Amino acid sequence: MKNISIKKQFIFIIGLAFLVQLIILVAFLLFSQYQYYKDSTKLAYRQEVKNTREKVRREVEQLYSIIDYEIEKKKQDVKIQVRRRVYEAYDIAWSIFNRYKNKKSLHEIKNLIITALRDIRFFNGRGYYFIDSLDGEVIMYPVRPSEEGKSYINITDVEGKPVIKTFINVVKNSYEGYVRYKTFIPENRSVSTKASYNKISFVKLFEPFNWIIGTGDYAYGNIKELKESIINIIDSRRYGKNGYFFAYDYSGKCLNLPPDRDKEQTNMINYTNSRGTPVIKNALEVARNGGGFMTWYYKSLSDNKSIKKIGYIQGIDELGMFYGTGVYVDEISSSFKKLQEEYKNITFSNSLIILFTLLIAYGVVYLLTRNLAKRLGKDIDMVADAFDVSLKDDRLIPENITRMSELSSLIKSFNTTLGEKHLFNRIAKEKERQFTSLFEKSAEPMLIINKDGIIDCNLSAVEFLGYNSKREILKHPAFISPDKQPD
């Protein structure tokens, strides 16, 4: 059987154990680094998506602030214009009344005022004057003269607001004032209430006849012109590299779509993308519910591939339209790649540092193990030589020849065994001495016989058998026995 070096075995076992631990540790740390890279990139991507969502929301809201400013400016302009027009009508009525109050009957004066105001038009033909009585009777209604003389006291707007009653309350309480209500543009009367428009009227009490003289206009004036102005603002707005805004009205008609100009003025309410999603219907629903985020697939500007977009939709209920913008997900991915590469480089660098550090640690442990093995081998050789000398000279081994506690324990055990052997030998010698003394000095003849014959005898046996020395007796018993034995 081949001998095995304890020193080599020690180095091999310690090295193998540490190597296994090192491999496990390296695998764990590298996996941790990979998991860190994976989690970090996932978190970074989510953050990038979140930032993109906030970006499109912010762009839409910034544009809305511009649109809202334009709308409010138009509202204020309309309020000023309707008030000025009513004051003009009021002055005309007072002028006629003062001129003819002493010359004509009240009935004739009323007809003169109605005649003077009936055909006046303004606001590009949209504007006209109306006159109602305090009990709700229609005195003058130029666009519907057949309604004159009827009671409109219970007339309401599209949301159920009692318009004429409100006129009456305003002039009774304040003599004049603004009244807001909703109505349809004549050509859009079949459209839902979401396509109705705010209207602002100014009414003033004409005291001589307790008439309500007033006029009104859509809160934004010429809706068509305002829409065109807003669409131009939306169309001119850009952000980032390819950022643009689209716009549709609540019927689904495309108002602005920079990448596909040929679709503008086309009703796309039934449009579905390559995945069968009714994009415009979904966007319209988001707009009608107050606006918000939505995702959809749309063709890429570069290669016409259908790519996911993250967008934000904002409705403009006053104009019956909505607009929005979106960012392709692959644009997020491309901007994210740089960050991903940075995380990858950091992870790789950390992995190399970990690996290099552990290799150095392994080298240090190997050198320490090798040095310890040398010391162990030296001590083992020293102890082995001591054992050889001890066995040869039959003496104890000094216990201080090694600092290895295990070898010291072995030496102690050996010395204990050797001491017990010495004690046994001393006892055996003493027993032998005592036996020899008793054997030799005994008066009785004694022989010690084995299979080979007589091996010892005492002096009494020599004398008894008639010999002169032990040597003559130490032979087979047959040689000292008589030829004839008694029965």
Class for the domain spanning 73-220:
alpha beta
Highest mean pLDDT among 45-54, 153-162, 341-350: 153-162
Highest mean pLDDT among 128-142, 181-195, 359-373: 128-142
128's CB contacts (< 8 A; 6+ apart) are: 120, 121, 122, 142, 143, 215
State the pLDDT confidence band at 433, using cuts at 50, 70 and 90: confident
Highest mean pLDDT among 52-61, 132-141, 194-203, 265-274: 132-141
475 is written with which tokens?
């032979």
- Give the integer Cα–Cα distance in Å for 150 and 136: 8
pLDDT of amino acid 185: 62
Q: What region does 276 belong to: left with phi over 0, alpha with psi -120 to 50, or beta? A: left
pLDDT of amino acid 21: 78
- Give the integer Cα–Cα distance in Å for 280 and 478: 137
pLDDT of amino acid 319: 84
Task: Give backbone dihedrals phi and psi of 403, rounded to 5 degrees, phi first.
Answer: -100, 0
Higher pLDDT, 285 or 366: 285
Class for the domain spanning 225-333:
alpha beta
- Give the integer Cα–Cα distance in Å for 282 and 273: 12
Q: Average of pLDDT values for 77-93?
A: 96
pLDDT of amino acid 108: 96
State the pLDDT confidence band at 191, using cuts at 50, 70 and 90: very low
- Give the integer Cα–Cα distance in Å for 57 and 63: 10
pLDDT above 60 (res 189): no
Helix/strand/coil percent split, the chain, to 5: 60, 20, 25
Higher pLDDT, 332 or 188: 332
- Residues 443, 445, 446, 450: what is their CA dihedral angle, to the nearest 10 degrees? 170
Q: Average of pLDDT values for 99-119?
A: 95
State the pLDDT confidence band at 441, using cuts at 50, 70 and 90: confident
pLDDT above 90 (res 301): no
Residue 442: closest CA among 466, 467, 459: 459
pLDDT above 70 (res 398): yes
Q: pLDDT per residue over 417-426, tens digit each?
A: 877 778 888 8
pLDDT above 60 (res 1): no
| Number of neighbours of residue 449 by Cβ within 10 angstroms | 12
Alpha helices in 149-220 (DSSP H): 163-174
State the pLDDT confidence band at 468, using cuts at 50, 70 and 90: confident
Cα-based angle 325, 259, 278 (whole degrees, multiple of 5): 60
Query: What pTM does this model have?
Result: 0.58
Higher pLDDT, 244 or 360: 244
Residue entry with tokens 């009774």: 172
DSSP output for 299-360: E-TTT--EEEEEEEEEEEGGGTEEEEEEEEHHHHHHHHHHHHHHHHHHHHHHHHHHHHHHHH
Q: Average of pLDDT values for 118-143?
A: 95
pLDDT above 60 (res 330): yes
What does R_g of the chain's alpha carbons equal in angstroms? 60
Q: pLDDT per residue over 473-487, tens digit each?
A: 888 887 777 767 666
Provide the percentage of residues in the chain whose pLDDT is more than 90: 42
pLDDT of amino acid 112: 96
Higher pLDDT, 462 or 323: 323
pLDDT above 60 (res 428): yes
Please answer whether residues 250 and 284 qualify as being in contact, where contact means their C-beta atoms are separated by less than 8 angstroms: yes
Q: Average of pLDDT values for 167-181?
A: 96
| Number of neighbours of residue 199 by Cβ within 10 angstroms | 21
